[in-house]
Structure 1
């Protein structure tokens, strides 16, 4: 019962943010929630509207939030290289599909093969970050700064600085719509990822061990857990999430822009974890809250776009939210708020 109360309390912040955004948009412009059924350029019926856009783009963030939550819980730090690694994963997919010809008439490999290769590559770079953090004891943000800096040049080098183009219409299904299904495919991909991680956390000790390492590394050692391996594993899992998002990203446009693909997405992923009520210093986490936080971040982004906020200013707005959440999650602030709550309750009782 206590566990259930704690879980519900953690969901309070993201749910409150969701309600606040929904009420604000409903008051200012009720048409924000309008959904229409139209035919796309291929003649297939698809749903369009801000809520659909939130589900579509928020699904990428939800997938990333899965891996970022585990990394944060285990290491007490964040991976700031996910955007650059997404560029690498997307570049690998295009390279495998196109081969040496950047604009092939026929693909050189199947979509599954290209995706699996991208998974291996993304997990390799995740493992690289994990080794630096777990075994060389480098602070996560500093360790991942290497890939943050080098990732996009590596992505461009993979395809010889060319921009491969996939002409097959079916490739866009992963980041767009499957004919006959009006809901964006990324939402279904996200649901699959959420179900998989839910089953993993339920039937394995991954969640328990990750939280144990994040709460007290030395105590976890005494209980037979290997903190270094758990930290390493979380980065590898994040690498797998990155590969999935990389597939969605390049599928949307059937090509890649090395400098802009997934730009600043790492900030949104970190913010999703924080908005979910998870302490950025590590320890206990709620995967459901992080995933909900991811869709709320996209809700905020869509709202800002709706009201014509300059795209260059989006990061500034989100930075303010990050600062507020980090301050509120600080132990000192939480302690003071708890004391204030206790005083108010005492006055009421008196």
Structure 2
């Protein structure tokens, strides 16, 4: 059980929840008000939904031995485009303008992800450089869309995406559940998951075996862009505004941390979507804990980094062996043995 890849992430998440329960005894309390459920646990799921969505897409990208640093910029661009489209309409609460704004924003986010995939798969640019281009330029594009201002809209229908409720739960939770189910079904019930893992482990071998590795990479980056676009819609609709400068800021780093905490290796290959979900919940629970305890804002990121480092060290088998005073036997190559004994 201890060696299971989800054991330590679940232990860390349980420890954070237990600490919150001790610090605030009503942390687990859930109340019904006006037909909606309210409570700290509901808030963690609700406010953590954008991060979970971005982390789902990031998991598949990392599984192909890539990385996407532009997801935060895509979040900002998508929210800015949707709010700008709605603000230009005379009827901001109309269904037509809502569908146009949401549809155009999601198409744009998928195209931006496709652009990243094109640079990586077709042009051959390293993923960290290819996505860094859009990370820098995308933030500027978002500010150009908003003209450097915060766009505020008055559309209850659009606001429903991020702050509405369905069956007493926030709509964002259902959106995450749908995207998680789609990703899980496509990667675990079809051969797509094996193709992604093979591309991440041995891209040349998978190509020689008949796997269209370039197409797989294009699809994965496009899906990651789409997940970031949906996250951008949730964030902007939750506050009924778009901020091209701060929306989605540092989301790429939190998503990468969530994937790593969940047990997916940055070297590519095998991935675990359930672990990513737990990792994202750990980060969001940690953020909620920091705010609840009253940690000063200027050292919030430092505390967060220390805790994440501790989580990664706990998961490391080599680190645990070092604490126990154990050392793995050194492995010698055949050439070394010949020199020693020859």
Shift of 1:191: 0.9
| Aligned mate of 1:94, from 70, 73, 83 | 83
Shift of 1:115: 1.6
Structure-1 separation of matches of 2:324 and 2:85: 55
Partner of 1:63: 53
Helix, strand or coil for the counterpart of 2:269?
coil
Task: Give runs of aligned pairs for residues 1-350 of structure 1, distance below 5 A.
Answer: 9-38=4-33, 44-75=34-65, 77-99=66-88, 107=94, 109-178=96-165, 181-324=167-310, 340=326
Shift of 1:268: 1.4
Shift of 1:250: 1.1
Structure-2 separation of matches of 1:215 and 1:332: 22
Shift of 1:307: 0.5
Distance change >3 Å, CA 104–CA 199, structure 1 → 2: same
Shift of 1:98: 2.8
Counting matched residue pairs gives: 329
Helix, strand or coil for the counterpart of 1:48?
strand
Helix, strand or coil for the counterpart of 1:31?
coil
Contact map agreement 2:112 2:225 (CA 8 A) in 1: yes
Q: Provide Cα deviations, 1:240-279, integer angstroms capped at 9, x if missing partner.
A: 1011111111111111121111221212111110111111
Q: 5+ unaligned residues in a row in structure 1: which ranges?
A: 39-43, 344-350
Structure-2 separation of matches of 1:206 and 1:309: 44
Structure-2 separation of matches of 1:74 and 1:338: 34
Structure-2 separation of matches of 1:327 and 1:27: 25
Structure-1 separation of matches of 2:199 and 2:325: 29
Structure-2 separation of matches of 1:232 and 1:338: 45
Q: 5+ unaligned residues in a row in structure 2: which ranges?
A: 330-342
Contact map agreement 2:199 2:213 (CA 8 A) in 1: yes
Partner of 1:347: none
Shift of 1:84: 1.1
More deviation in 285-294 or 318-327?
318-327
Shift of 1:181: 4.0
Structure-2 separation of matches of 1:153 and 1:107: 30
Shift of 1:239: 0.8
Structure-1 separation of matches of 2:302 and 2:181: 33
Contact map agreement 2:82 2:233 (CA 8 A) in 1: yes
**RMSD across aligned C-alpha pairs, in angstroms?**
2.9
**TM-score scaled to structure 1, two decimals?**
0.84
Shift of 1:72: 0.5
Contact map agreement 1:13 1:277 (CA 8 A) in 2: no
Shift of 1:235: 0.8
